[in-house]
Amino acid sequence: MAEIASIFVSPIVSMLAETVATLIHDEYAAIKGVKEDLKKLLHTLETIRAVLEDAEQRSACDRSLRLWLSRLKDAAFDAEDILDSFAAKARLGKVRRIRAKIRAASEIKRISERLDLIAKDRRDFNLNVSSGDGGRSRSQSPVDFPLTSSFVETTDVFGRESDKQRLIDQILSNESNSSEGGVSVTPIIGMGGLGKTTLAQLIFNDGRVKGHFEYKMWVCVTIDFNLKRILKGIIEFHTQMEVSNNLSFDGLVSRFKDILAGKNFLLVLDDVWVDNYQEWDPLRNILKLGGKGSRVLVTSRSDRVSDIMGTQTPYRLEYLPQEECWSLFKRIAFKDCNNVPSRRLMELEGIGREIVGKCNGLPLAVKAMGGLLRGNVDVDKWRRILRDSIWELEGERSLDKPQILPALKLSYDDLPSYLKQCFSYCSIFPKAYVFDRKELIKLWMAEAFIQHRGRSSAEETGCEYFDELLTRSFFQILDIDNKKRYKMHDLIHELAVSVSSPECCQVKDNEPCVFDRESRHVSFLCQELESPTCKQAFKTCNKLRTLLLPSEYLKSIGVQALDQMFRSLKYIRVLDLSSTSISELPSSVEELKLLRSLDLSRTEIKRLPDSVCNLWNLQTLKLLGCLWLFELPKDLGKLVNLIYLELDEMFWFKCRTLPPGLGNLSRLQNLHAFQVLKGETRHGIGELKDMENLTGKLHISNLENAVNAAEAKLNQKERLEKLALEWSDKQFNNQEDEVRAERDLKDLQPHSNLKELALHHFKGSNFPSWMTESHRFLPNLVKLTLSHCTKCTTFSVGQLPCLRELYIKGMRELEEWPEAQSHSLSRLRISNCPKLRKVPELMFNLRALKIKKCDSLKALPFAPSLMFLILADNLVLENWREGGLISVDNQGNRAGEPRPSLIGLLELKMENCPNIRALPRMFFPQKLEIKGCELVTALPVSQRLQHLALGLCSNDALVRNIPSSNSLYSLVISNISNLTSFPRLPHLPGLNSLYISDCEDLSSLSEEEGSLKSLSSLQLLSVRGCPKLESLPNEGLPSALQCLVIGSCRILKSLGSEQTLTSLASLKDLYLEDCPSIQSFPEVGLPSSLQHLEIHGCPLLVQQCQEHGTEWPKIKHVTDLEIDSV
């Protein structure tokens, strides 16, 4: 490539220096000669580190300096490998023998001498010693950055008219006036090459803008936010006269005041990179001197600039639509192709559209590719351009090549060194890869890319790293199933590939790949891992730190190949074997002493070898989707650096016993379940004591076995969000067990950050104060579940400000809930609490309520926001607690009429509530189901009712009282006794589906002529379980019917008159099941529209429907037949 990427070494040297410093103070340095060599090595590293910032900044234009940095980088990597291996072996006691000690000392001495020689060579470059700010190249000359002007050739701009108009409307609007009285700043944000500058030029030259502002100025800022240079540019643009470089800053400010103070102006600051408010604030104060209505338009690649400078919502420029990209490409590439034969032109257009597709909506790339092919009609060249990546095209030794990556590389050059290595690492993932932020950060942690920042954890710092890359447009946000995911634009990915080679590379099926012995990170995008190409990679790249398999299709690899891999890749940190065919892991995995991340997800593995527990450095162990894995190795507690143990939720149910000694895993974040075993010291609840980093969910079971529950120290686990505490469901009736359970629950008080709490089978009668006064102790609690706490008679949650969901089940002794109000609850479910007499009277924000088997509860709460209500098996419930909600104005006066409390109820399902005499008075549901409520005889008139279900009634009163409704879509009638004939329904023009089932007395579907036929919109009719029904109505069925289902009607003989079925011109599906008395179809047959016919459990009819039976001619036209065999 013409543009050479500067080499980053700073973070590697810094991490190496940390390792050396740690080893100096460890006991391992006591090996003869090692401590002195380590001290000397640390001094060498500090000497090198002092000049690295200058070296990295200058390396892009100094070949010999790049070579020196490459030597340094390789040596630093090798040193890190040697020292990490030494530390790992020492911790495992493998350098105790004399020979091992001598070999370790010799390796450390050799690498120290190698780095010392490199350090001495630094003198050849006259490098400047710097304080070091993370390697940000702020000192680059502005000439490195293309300068822009306000001129734009509008004929070369496509697809930005709507963006232009929206921004002009925003800029000219009075709403854009700064609320702080200062200048209004509108940022345009987007990745390099999107056309931010072009959009600003269009706005700058628009007629409306020219007529609105007295003056307009344009300044190209670039990476160096030099206040004096910017002021000079503003003045020169305004006066069209050159300003002397000798003019002082105060002189520039004075000139600004003279010409622009009080004047209404538009200033465009193009290509801004500032990330420090202190740099922007002085210019902001000067610009405030302008007149009211002045505007500043800023273009930048970074959200950080918007945060610092913007007073208006940033305008995020999107990718150019595909058709607009094609128009732009066609204008450039085909400009001089008037005499090209039409057939070739069509061929070139087809290839050209694919080339445009590769540009992924980036106008810069479209222009560059169009310019590359301008006037060229060689089809082979166009195909080669299509085949090759942008990086490959720009790497050619030719003047005729695109210049895309250099523009994008400006963003890369501006990154601190620690972010450069994080970004370049992403090149090992395939194009269009969907990144999960947390998973990527785990890989960065495993590679030791993340530097310590104060008290922040590595994960928190990694999140800051990622967010900074995101704000600089290196990633795009995706919304997949309401979860944030991320991807790189294809050209950003190619940039990552260009700056990371040969350190990072990909291996693909059927594609040549050149391996470098210095390659450290490799991904295999292929199915066969034992192919010659892969074997060559394992053999050549013996310094590998990363081996990834980012594609999800199954990959084949044998145990023997794995064993060889484990014995050769001794420096590997990240090993991904997910979605491979392996069913066992060789014990030689213990050879991977430096391994920090092991992914075995979606494999057939059944057990892990005990030797995996010797991987002292392991931070991440992923076992997701391992369906045949039922246990963890017994020595798992030896993995003291393990942070992430990732298993499916189902595993915690399948696993009978967890390994002993899990308390050693003090860094572990996710332990979803913990079983307290009786008499087992290494399975006791005290194992949780030091696990302060647990996050997410923790379920502790068998708490009756806890000796001292306070040892769990749950109140110190501030990152825990969900906690479940469970005692076994065995009955304990003695007082001692009850007292102990209450004491244990008191000692299990969680941290105040907890969001969800569940108690199962609690044996005590009283809850501790941290629950009864939970507004003090659990102010962030959102969800509370109390299940089968069978001895508690009273329950109180206090006024929890955040509690939204409460579930109470099987509390058979619970009698009261004494609070008068519960304001925060939005979802409440109470079931199987037969003695509960009272709930809070007012639940203002309750949206969903379910009450089941509460035999003593008479009244519901007053819940004016209620939308979903389920009542089942509540024997004495009778009071809806209806009322009016009164609104008041700001002065406290009554405003308008009272609002009925249940007018917002959308769905009501009520079953077996015998004391309820009527439905609410003011009630307009969308969905209503009533079963077994004998006293209810009237239904509401609701023009929003869509679904109605009536059942379990001893009379047909409710069915005969169905009101007219234009909105009713579905009607279900079931288990209605004494309903002998189906009544004529009222006007239901929208009824689409009618289900009739288990009406044991129903003998006719037509009480009067046309009862069913009047349902003109009915498309589905289902009649099941009506043992007295003998025939379908002779007058016919609804003409719009498309699906007819008849089942379990034992004496049904006739399917109606000759015309009953043939008149159904829209009928497509007919199902007959368990109707043994039907012998034949109507004489004239079935409608020609019928497409699907199923017959089961109708032996007489089935017999005649065989190919030579009497009914076969009537059904042979049906394309889809499913009929029982004879």
Same domain as 630, residue 515 = yes
Does residue 1 have a pLDDT over 50?
no
Q: How many folded domains does the chain comprise? A: 5
In a domain, 1010, yes or no: no
* Confidence (pLDDT) at 588: 94
* Confidence (pLDDT) at 889: 58
* Mean pLDDT across 283-291: 91
Does residue 349 have a pLDDT over 70?
yes
Q: How confident is the model at residue 897 (pLDDT cuts 50, 70, 90)?
A: low
Q: How confident is the model at residue 100 (pLDDT cuts 50, 70, 90)?
A: low
In a domain, 570, yes or no: yes
Q: How confident is the model at residue 453 (pLDDT cuts 50, 70, 90)?
A: confident
* Confidence (pLDDT) at 87: 82
The 10s digit of each residue's pLDDT in 178-212 is 555 578 999 999 988 889 999 999 999 999 999 99
Amino acid at position 221, single letter: V
Strands (E), 641-740: 644-646, 673-675, 696-701, 720-726
Domain that holds residue 57: 10-125
In a domain, 761, yes or no: no
Domain end among 656, 676, 711? 656
* Confidence (pLDDT) at 94: 60
Does residue 954 have a pLDDT over 50?
yes
Same domain as 236, residue 335 = no
Same domain as 306, residue 182 = yes
Please choose, from the candidates 1081, 1086, 1122, the residue with its C-alpha nearest in 3D space to the C-alpha of residue 1101. 1081
CA distance 176 to 186: 8
* Confidence (pLDDT) at 8: 79
What tokens were used for 837? 């007499």
Domain end among 462, 484, 499? 499
Same domain as 151, residue 121 = no
* Confidence (pLDDT) at 702: 93
* Mean pLDDT across 341-369: 87
Least confident of 26-40, 316-330, 395-409, 1009-1023: 395-409
- What is the pTM for the complete model shown? 0.81
Q: How confident is the model at residue 1069 (pLDDT cuts 50, 70, 90)?
A: very high
Same domain as 552, residue 475 = no
Same domain as 538, residue 400 = no
Residue 236 maps to which CATH number? 3.40.50.300
In a domain, 38, yes or no: yes
In a domain, 1066, yes or no: no
- Virtual torsion, Cα 274, 275, 276, 280, nearest 10 deg: 30
Does residue 141 have a pLDDT over 50?
no
**Can you tell me whether residue 661 is helix, strand or coil?**
coil
Q: Distance from CA of residue 194 to its chain's centroid?
A: 26
Same domain as 111, residue 24 = yes
* Confidence (pLDDT) at 1096: 95
Least confident of 534-548, 700-714, 904-918: 534-548
The 10s digit of each residue's pLDDT in 63-80 is 889 899 989 999 999 999
* Confidence (pLDDT) at 103: 78
Least confident of 415-419, 510-514, 858-862: 510-514
For the chain, the C-alpha Rg in angstroms (whole number) is 38
CA distance 566 to 592: 6
* Bond into 502 cis (ω within 30): yes
The string of DSSP codes covering 108-144 is: HHHHHHHHHHHHHHGGGGTPPP----SS--TTS-GGG
Q: How are the residues of the chain apportioned to helix, strand and coil, as percentages rounded to the nearest 5? A: 35, 15, 50
Least confident of 90-94, 372-376, 411-415, 1090-1094: 90-94
CA distance 350 to 345: 9
Amino acid at position 1052, single letter: L
Does residue 340 have a pLDDT over 80?
no
Same domain as 546, residue 617 = yes
Same domain as 337, residue 249 = no
* Mean pLDDT across 127-134: 65
Same domain as 476, residue 463 = yes
Does residue 131 have a pLDDT over 80?
no
Domain end among 264, 296, 316? 316
* Confidence (pLDDT) at 32: 63
* Confidence (pLDDT) at 972: 97
Does residue 886 have a pLDDT over 60?
yes
In a domain, 84, yes or no: yes
Q: In 10 A of CB 1023, how many CB atoms?
A: 22
CA distance 911 to 952: 9
Amino acid at position 317, single letter: L
Alpha helices in 601-719 (DSSP H): 649-654
In a domain, 965, yes or no: no
Same domain as 505, residue 646 = yes
CA distance 309 to 267: 13
* Confidence (pLDDT) at 97: 60
Same domain as 647, residue 548 = yes
Distances 1122 to 367, 902, 1092, 1105, 1106 between C-alpha atoms, Å: 61, 48, 8, 11, 11
Does residue 647 have a pLDDT over 90?
yes
CA distance 417 to 785: 49
Contact call for residues 760 and 790 (beta carbons, < 8 A): no
* Mean pLDDT across 31-40: 79
* Mean pLDDT across 655-677: 92
Write down the mean pLDDT value for the chain. Answer: 87
Q: How confident is the model at residue 834 (pLDDT cuts 50, 70, 90)?
A: very high
The 10s digit of each residue's pLDDT in 605-629 is 999 999 999 999 999 999 999 999 9
Residues above pLDDT 70, as percent of the chain: 91
- Element (H or E) spanning 464, and its range? helix 458-471
In a domain, 250, yes or no: yes
Residue 552 maps to which CATH number? 3.80.10.10
Please choose, from the candidates 749, 821, 741, the residue with its C-alpha nearest in 3D space to the C-alpha of residue 778. 749
Contact call for residues 900 and 921 (beta carbons, < 8 A): yes
Residue 434 exposed, middle or buried by CB count within 10 Å (0-12, 13-18, 19+): exposed
Sheet strands side by side (includes 504-508): 504-508, 521-525, 546-548, 574-576, 597-599, 620-622, 644-646
Strands (E), 465-543: 476-480, 483-487, 504-508, 521-525
* Confidence (pLDDT) at 1013: 84
